[in-house]
Structure formats: C-alpha cells, structure tokens
Chains A and B, each alone.
Chain A
C-alpha cells in the first residue's frame, strides 16, 4: 500500500529533482470522471506550503472552494485577507463584466467581445497578482498559478491557440522569471470529437513536467474505487537521457481526504 498523500509525494518529488531550478507546469486532466479533487488538493497544498497563490477559479464560487478547503485544513478567507491568495471568481465576475461596461480592462473582458483574439487581460491580471512585493521581506515562498479549468475558456469563445498562448506567457513569467509553478486542469473530452479541446490537451501535455490524469474505471461505476490516477513524470529538457516514468494508482474520494492504493488492492476487495 502506498502512502495516502500520493499527490503530495508526486509534486514534492518533482520539486526536489531540480532544486532551485525553473518552476514546473503540472497538468491535471480528467477523463470520464471529475478531477476537481486534484484542484482542491493542490490549492490546499500550496497554501499550507506558504506559497503565494493566484487562483483563476472559473468553475465554482468562492464559497465552494472555501468550504472544501476547510475540510482539507486551509481557510481561503484568511489567505485572501492576508494577501497570500489572489482569487478570481469567474462566475461572479462574468456577471459584472457581461452586464456593465467596465472602465478598465477586465481579465474576463473577452466575454463581452464578439471575436476576442487573445487572453491578454487575463495574463496581465495573473502577472499583477504574482508580482514580487518590494518590501524587502519575502513573505511568501514561490508564486503559484492555479487554473480551474482551461477547458471552459474554449466554451467561452476562445480558441485553443489563444489558451495555449496564455499558458505560454504565464509560464514565461511565473515559471521562468519568478521560479514559480503552474497547475492547470483540462478535461479530456474522449471520443466526443472536441477538436479544440484535443489541441489544447495535447499541446499542454507536451510541455508539462508532471501530468496527473484521473480516469473513470473502464468497467464502469464502482462504489469503492472511484477511479484511477495516472502519474506521468516528464522531463522535457532531457529527452534522451531520462525516460518518462509513470505510475498508476486507484483512488477513493472521502469526505476530507482521498485514499490511494495499488490496482486491485482496494480495502473493499482485500
């Protein structure tokens, strides 16, 4: 049986591997299941690790993430108040942007436009949120950009290329310039022939250091095993010397945690 906090182990492994090196892009992906538990995990993980987090939360309301965060041991309200967390609440902001013309460019400006070319206002927002604070005292550890999720940007009229450009710009600033990390969730649309989403997913898979892929079980629904988590370490900078490594675990989501176990080793079966 492997340690319960597997996702911690995986991300810690990646961070240890190249200490002090440029930041990492971690791709979260879900296929035939709901991978949002991974988002909640990383949010609480980085907040507990004292990192400055910019969370582009496009899918649920602040209170949803806050309530789940409390179960995982962090308070988003406190983090936001003391400046550790910059939270973009997509649903609430979309109403403001859509119905009222804004004086200044808004990160979700593209909702008002018929043919938005790029996500520059959103990138500016992230850059501003994670800029280093010049008061001499380093209050927080490395900056982190967390996005839940990128697939919804396609539903809102942006093309896959615009989203890839956005991540590219964020990577330049957050990962290389500021030595921070990016964690983003993309859905795998499977066989629904969502071409834009496939372009986005393939493009990001190629440039990620770590891919965590939650999949529904091939045999269908099961009460004791909610799905399978595939972890893929990639080292894009050294393609020939080190082969990609991958591990697969099955998991069950509980009220306040997720338990992992090797395939076929669910406590329900043993």
Chain B
C-alpha cells in the first residue's frame, strides 16, 4: 500500500514522530479486535480521507461503490487498491448504470476520477451521471442559495464565490464526507456545478490512439498499453503512489474503465475464439500492480458474455479481486417467469477477495435480484415460493433466515 508522507516537522509532538518511525508499524488507530493496521505506520492518517472507512473485518480501507446495497454485499465496500469487475448484462444497460453510480460517488466525495472508454467520450459520460438524492431540507437550502447568487453583479466573482459557498454546504449536508455511500436519483442528472468542481481525467481511446508509445510492444494491444501508461502517469504525477515527495496526496483516485475487452479497444477476444489470449490478462495483472501500490480503486465493466474463449473468463476472474455478474431479464425467457416478475435481473456475486485474511464475509443467501424503480436501483434477496420446482424446498423468511424443508 502507498506510504503517505508524514506531517511537517513543526506539527506533532515527539511522541507521534516516534510512533511513525517505529519498525513494527504500530499505529495510533487501535481496535479491540484483530489488528487493524495496514501495511504502513501512517495508516491512521489514511482513515481521515473523505469517502472512505476501514473495514470492520480486516481494517482494509474501503470506498463506496455508489450503491449502498452492493457495498453491503461486498462486505462493506470496495477495498482501496483492488479491482471490481462487473460482468456486463447483455445490452450493457445496468452495468453502465453501476459504472455511473461509481463515478457519481467519486464526485460527491471529492475523489479524483479517471474515466476510460473506447466508446463514449468521458466528458459525455460525466454529463450523464445521476443526481444525488438529497434530503428535502437540504434541497430547499440548495435551491435558495442558487436563486440568491443568480442576482449577483460580477460574473467572475459570483462563480468563484458561488463555488466557494457551495463546497462547505456540501460537507454540512447529507452528502458530507462523514457519510459513506449515497443514494442517487436515476431520473435526474448530476448538477453541472458539481461536475465542474470535480477533478477528473478522461481517456478516450479514439483520441489517444495516434500518440507514440514509450513501451515496446509486448503482446498487449495498443489500446491497453496506452491506457496503462496513462493511468501510471496520473498516479505518479498526482502523487497517489506516495513516491513524489512534493505531492502529499490524501485523496482517492477512482478509475473507471468501460467495456474492457470489447473490439473497440482493439482486442479480438470477443470476436474469435483464438484471439489474443494474453493481452487482456496481462493488462489486468499490471493494472492490479498499479492499484496495489497506490491510493486508488478501480471498477471495470467487461462484456464477458461476448468472450468466446471460456478459459479467458476464468483467468480474468482469477486476476480480479471482486467480481459481480449482472444478468438482465430483457429478451430472455426469464422475463415471463412469474418468479421474476418484480425484478429486472439477477446479480451474481462471483468472487469476493480475502484480503489480509484467511476468511471473508459471505452472505448465506445466494439468490439476489435487482430492479430499477423510477429513481432507485435496489437489490433484494429473491423470495422463493412453493411453485418453484425443487427437490429440497428452501424458504427465505422475512428476516432473511434460510429454512430447509426436506
């Protein structure tokens, strides 16, 4: 994990300096349970980054995926330094929505974003982000402030003053940094001001494909090499890996990569069974190396249903930390199945990492379905009923206990 630079010499007492220099990585963050410390002594300082919280299981630093229900299923959230792979649903409707929730969560928390796509311009993706669901009280205040500032005289002054006014309000309200995970209104767009106030980097492959490579070709497709270079550059330049003594980065870099593996990235694994079988897996390996050595978290959506060679899917799964599959009912025979009539699709939690631990939190119930109501994306345990043909009847009670009846 990245080492965050210690605070200035004039600041702390001699006591805290000694603690930081200790070889045994003793931190000031003590927990009753298992040791919570991460790999370095400045872990206690990492806890104060906006939009993060330590895992109750292993002390690992977590960020929200933008969907509190998904956070819970993944054991609290997405661990910093890891990859979340979303296996896209057939028409990339819901996976694209999850991608946007992830980015929106980054904007609300003030994280830096890195958006990579071969299909859509990242600037357009950001315009489509869902708006955060605010409490009614806060919303009223927000509207009032907006009205007041519209009547100001100087344009430039108003802009600066308005943003300055805006930010503290954000922290005081329900979208403050003390809150982990927010809800979003899928029917509304993220306010323009929030997008403009955010820090983001876009990688749109069609625009980058012409520039030169400083890495020799090594069985990775051109697009993947350029993307890795771009990510590594941002991590290094902005100090997310702690290597640049000038940059004391105390923020998270959220990396979102859309449709990885699709032909638009120049990869042919979705077109033919004998495609370049190492390009994508090598990319994922080096990417994970970058993530493990920096304060970043990555969500990738991948059209795995298009990959012809099943061995690649299994290798990709092994190379990712968390893997979630989305299966939508659109156009499938499940659409008319009365069991699924209230839902839009199923969520499969295929893999959860065991980080710093021999075990992990696993939900007892494996049948999860999702639905997109007018505003909210919800995930629910699938209730079975006696109509379902099964040699062993399994009932899920309202408090989510599983009962077997033989």
Contacts and interface: CB of A to CB of B under 8 A. Distances in A.
Interface in B310-331: 310-311, 313-315, 318-319
Provide the main secondary structure of the chain B interface. Answer: loop
Query: Which of B285, B313, B319, B362: most chain A CB closer than 10 A?
Result: B285
A194 B315 contact: yes
Interface in A80-112: 90-95, 98-99, 111-112
A63 B38 contact: yes
A194 B1 contact: no
Interface of A: 34, 36-37, 40, 60-64, 66-68, 70-71, 77, 90-95, 98-99, 111-115, 151-152, 154-157, 187, 189, 192-197, 221, 223, 253-256, 258
B160 interface: no
Interface in B273-291: 278, 281-282, 285-286, 288-290
Provide the main secondary structure of the chain A interface. Answer: helix
B358 A40 contact: yes
Interface of B: 1, 23, 34-35, 38-39, 58, 81, 215-219, 228-229, 232, 278, 281-282, 285-286, 288-290, 292-293, 309-311, 313-315, 318-319, 354-359, 362, 364, 366
A197 B311 contact: yes
Contact of A92 (B289, B313, B359): B289
A256 B34 CA distance: 10
Contacts of B355: 60, 64
B289 A70 contact: no
Contacts of A92: 289, 292-293
A156 B282 contact: yes
A189 B315 CA distance: 9
Contacts of B356: 63-64, 67-68
A111 B218 contact: yes
A63 B1 contact: yes
A34 B288 contact: no
Contact of A34 (B58, B228, B310, B354): B354
25 contacts: A67-B357, A71-B34, A91-B293, A93-B289, A95-B290, A98-B228, A98-B289, A111-B282, A112-B216, A113-B219, A114-B219, A151-B315, A151-B318, A155-B278, A155-B318, A155-B319, A156-B278, A156-B281, A192-B314, A197-B311, A221-B362, A223-B362, A254-B358, A255-B358, A258-B358
Contacts of A112: 215-216, 218
B89 to A, nearest CB: 21
Give the 6 A-B residue pairs with the shortest CB-CB distance, closest first: A63-B39, A194-B311, A155-B281, A91-B289, A67-B356, A157-B278
B23 to A, nearest CB: 8
A193 B310 contact: yes
B219 A256 contact: no
Nearest to A92: B293
A36 B353 CA distance: 11
Contacts of A93: 289
Contacts of B318: 151-152, 155, 187
Contacts of A62: 39
Contact of B285 (A64, A155, A189, A194): A155
A93 B290 CA distance: 10
A115 B219 CA distance: 7
Contacts of A64: 355-356
B352 to A, nearest CB: 10
Contact of B359 (A77, A94, A157, A253): A253
